[in-house]
Structure 1
Amino acid sequence: MANRNTHSTLLIDEYLRQVAPTDKMPEDIGPVLFGLFGEVGGIMTAAKKHHREKEVFVGYRLMVEEEFGDTLWYLAALCRRLELSLEELLSAAISTDDYSSILAASDMENGTLARIVIPRQVMALDPALLTLGEAVSRLLRLASDPTNPEAVLVPFIDCYLKAIQVSGLSFGDVARSNITKTRGRFVAPDTSTLPTFDSQFKEEERLPDKFEIEITQRKSGQCYLRLNGVFVGDPLTDNIHKSDDYRFHDVFHFAHAAILHWSPVMRALIKQKRKSDKRIDEAQDGGRAIVVEEGLTAWIFSRAKDLNFLEDQQSVSFDMLKTIADFVRGYEVEHCPLNLWERAILDGYAVFRQVRANKGGVVIGDRIKRTIGYRPL
């Protein structure tokens, strides 16, 4: 961050290039300032939980790293609108005697050494966060008076960098995790780079590349599934006092299989678990993974039900997607970007609404194209 030749500045170059396509906000700086203010509040909330609950708050590091990353994103967006160089502002912030540099191994591919800039004195957490809060509040004046923005931006960045250090985080880790998060949410993935999870297994242990599953409802109200003329799974009802058509929810597992290439539930239904690898069979295809997918599906359904099963919805809330990411952490599907999860949910509910309206139908999955569709019986 000290000059244009340091590793950290190269990181800033890369960060700005990667996150620029994720900036979908209005050109007005007002919403960006409010977002920046809110994210600093998020940092303080996470720190408060950590202080109050200590080691019980196991998600502290991930949560606070995410809040610092989102703060950096809004800072970059603000600089973009003010036509200021974030790199130059960073350099100005660390040019005082409050910072020193050390020679450290770079994590760049060429393995060169770089100078990493750190604060000379470590502040206590509470004063560092209070100072950061005061600094972000001064930024709000830019909404009505954007003249001389450097006068408030440089002190804010100084407080931000010191708060990162006192929180026990790395600026590089904050920036990299934010790239992964924002691009995964807002940038459509290159399907050729997405994981398939079972391409190295034998055909009988892979989810089928293409499938058509017939869903029928009998007079009893029970729902039946049939694949290639063979009944699979058990007949389902809604399992709730007030009917809500959850008996058709296997559609969502089929959407997961086709679009995410992941569904321990579908593997169990069609008996195509990866049993040749005991570790994969137990950890990724076993009972716990099945419960995770079923629980996640039921949770999303409870929210989608209040939104008319996502009819006319063009997106899924970021909060829901972040909760999904927490839900599946530790399972192979965590490597799927949030954008792909959004597609699986929206496309899955589009098919569900058709199945629901017709009390059945044929669900058509194509893992090669990562699509799911519907055909009437």
Structure 2
Amino acid sequence: MSENSDSGTFLLADYIQKIAATDGMKSDIRPVLFGLFGEVGGIMATAKKHHREGNAYYGYQLAVEEEFGDTLWYLAAVCRRVEINLEEIFAEVISGTGYTSVIAASDLTTGSISRIISPKVVRAIDDALLSLGQAAANLLVIGEEANDPKPLLVDFVDHYLKALEVAQLSFAQIARSNLKKTVGRFVAPNSAHLPMFDSGFLEEEQLPEKFEIEIRERATGRSYLRWNNVFIGDPLTDNIGDPDGYRFHDVFHFAHAAILHWSPVMRALIKQKRKSVPDFDEAQDSGRAIVVEEGLTAWIFSRAKDLEFFEGQDRVSFDMLKTVEGFVRGYEVQECPLSLWERAILDGYAVFRKVRKNGGGVVVGDRANRTIEYKPLAKGDADEPSGIH
């Protein structure tokens, strides 16, 4: 199941091949089986919430698609460990008497005919999900007994496809989304293929290729920013009873600019919005985009405080990264893989910790190399600005 950019067709064989690169779990099958069982439980919990809350359950479609996608990931991982071809399992299931097919013209260059498969009988959603849960539980004996795991896998895939039909979900969409998410999270991106959102814009509308921004803390407890010897933005305090260093949070916007090539906040600070293209100015650099970035930054910070601001950590939790993905949906930065977000967060907080410890510093950004670094302030101090700029 892989996307072909020319035809739009998604082939299961390609999904299986590409998703293997994201499997960093040990060869032991038991944790993978537990993971699959847990994801099926997630499907059932999501469906239960939707049943209880109806249309008030915001984000149901995305949530259930993700649970089905993660289930597919674990299913592929199980098949790799027992050395059974997942594509053959699907082929055996859909060739059974419980499925009907429609013949369609193929958009593949290697064939003229395609088949669209669907279950003949669509059960009530509760019954379908209960059967899926039972089939998942049956898989837990794989690796513990000498029996053939293939019939258990065939049975599970049968119930998985029927549950998809009941939930009115697209198998291709689920596989595409899961592949994009997991590859983006676990496979190092090719820097040549990363998005560069400023390409084609006037130089004065681009985020600077390289920048050094001073952050200085005054006796008042406020922090000030200076770029190219000009004070920018507003002086900041922590705005909280228990000081935590949030007055230095602009570091994170600079990390976004350097590593992700995206920061509506920094564009506003240095007055380099893309006004020559009204659609970009309105949709990507506007007040709403600024609020999204500020809100995301504040949300991550509230979690980071409980994690010692990521000190000594070399990764960000997948759950946090998925929340980040949800925050920025609809904006250009959604094209950035989750692994790049992870880098922006960890490198940004590495600089933040130094700025916080030293009461200021110089943030050095390099968009060409997608890096952000800390440099100590020069000795001596500049005159404190008399007002807000």
* Segment of structure 1 superposing worse, 94-103 or 252-261: 94-103
The alpha carbon displacement at 1:217 in A equals 1.0
1:326 corresponds to 2:326: yes
Structure 2 vs 1, CA of residues 213 and 308 (structure 1 numbering), >3 Å: closer, same or farther?
same
Match of 1:296 in 2: 296
The alpha carbon displacement at 1:124 in A equals 1.6
Q: Are the equivalent residues in 2 in contact too, given 1:245–1:356 (CA < 8 A)?
A: yes
What letter corresponds to residue 43 of structure 2 in structure 1? I
Superposition pairs of residues 1-377 of structure 1, within 5 angstroms: 11-106=11-106, 108=108, 112-145=112-145, 147-377=147-377
What letter corresponds to residue 343 of structure 1 in structure 2? R
The alpha carbon displacement at 1:92 in A equals 1.8
Any stretches of 5+ residues in structure 1 without a counterpart? 2-6
Cα distance in structure 2, aligned partners of 1:28 and 1:286: 50
What letter corresponds to residue 266 of structure 1 in structure 2? M
Please give the per-residue CA displacement for 1:120-153, whole angstroms capped at 9, x wherever unaligned. Answer: 1222211111110111111111142253111211
Q: Are the equivalent residues in 2 in contact too, given 1:33–1:143 (CA < 8 A)?
A: no
Instruction: Report the TM-score, using the length of structure 1 for normalisation.
Output: 0.95
What letter corresponds to residue 323 of structure 1 in structure 2? T
Cα distance in structure 2, aligned partners of 1:76 and 1:151: 15
Cα distance in structure 2, aligned partners of 1:318 and 1:240: 28
The alpha carbon displacement at 1:347 in A equals 0.4
The alpha carbon displacement at 1:188 in A equals 1.1
Structure 2 vs 1, CA of residues 251 and 107 (structure 1 numbering), >3 Å: closer, same or farther?
farther
Cα distance in structure 2, aligned partners of 1:197 and 1:10: 28
Corresponding residue SS for 1:184:
helix
Structure 2 vs 1, CA of residues 208 and 99 (structure 1 numbering), >3 Å: closer, same or farther?
same
Q: Are the equivalent residues in 2 in contact too, given 1:223–1:235 (CA < 8 A)?
A: yes
Q: Are the equivalent residues in 1 in contact too, given 2:10–2:172 (CA < 8 A)?
A: no
Q: Percent same amino acid among aligned pairs?
A: 66
Instruction: Report the TM-score, using the length of structure 2 for normalisation.
Output: 0.92
Corresponding residue SS for 1:208:
coil
Corresponding residue SS for 1:251:
helix
Corresponding residue SS for 2:11:
helix
Q: Are the equivalent residues in 1 in contact too, given 2:361–2:374 (CA < 8 A)?
A: yes
The alpha carbon displacement at 1:244 in A equals 0.5
Cα distance in structure 2, aligned partners of 1:225 and 1:112: 63
Q: Are the equivalent residues in 2 in contact too, given 1:9–1:87 (CA < 8 A)?
A: no
Q: How many residues get paired?
A: 372
Structure 2 vs 1, CA of residues 203 and 111 (structure 1 numbering), >3 Å: closer, same or farther?
farther
Please give the per-residue CA displacement for 1:285-339, whole angstroms capped at 9, x wherever unaligned. Answer: 1111111111110110111111111001110000000111111111111111111
Cα distance in structure 2, aligned partners of 1:272 and 1:265: 10
Q: Are the equivalent residues in 2 in contact too, given 1:8–1:116 (CA < 8 A)?
A: no
Structure 2 vs 1, CA of residues 168 and 346 (structure 1 numbering), >3 Å: closer, same or farther?
same
Cα distance in structure 1, aligned partners of 2:320 and 2:183: 16
Corresponding residue SS for 1:326:
helix
Corresponding residue SS for 1:116:
strand
Q: Are the equivalent residues in 2 in contact too, given 1:132–1:163 (CA < 8 A)?
A: yes
Q: Are the equivalent residues in 2 in contact too, given 1:362–1:375 (CA < 8 A)?
A: yes
What letter corresponds to residue 15 of structure 2 in structure 1? Y
Corresponding residue SS for 1:292:
helix
Q: Are the equivalent residues in 2 in contact too, given 1:214–1:363 (CA < 8 A)?
A: yes
Match of 2:382 in 1: none
Structure 2 vs 1, CA of residues 329 and 106 (structure 1 numbering), >3 Å: closer, same or farther?
farther
Cα distance in structure 1, aligned partners of 2:104 and 2:56: 33
**Superposed structure 1 runs of 4+ greater than 3 Å apart:** 7-10, 105-113
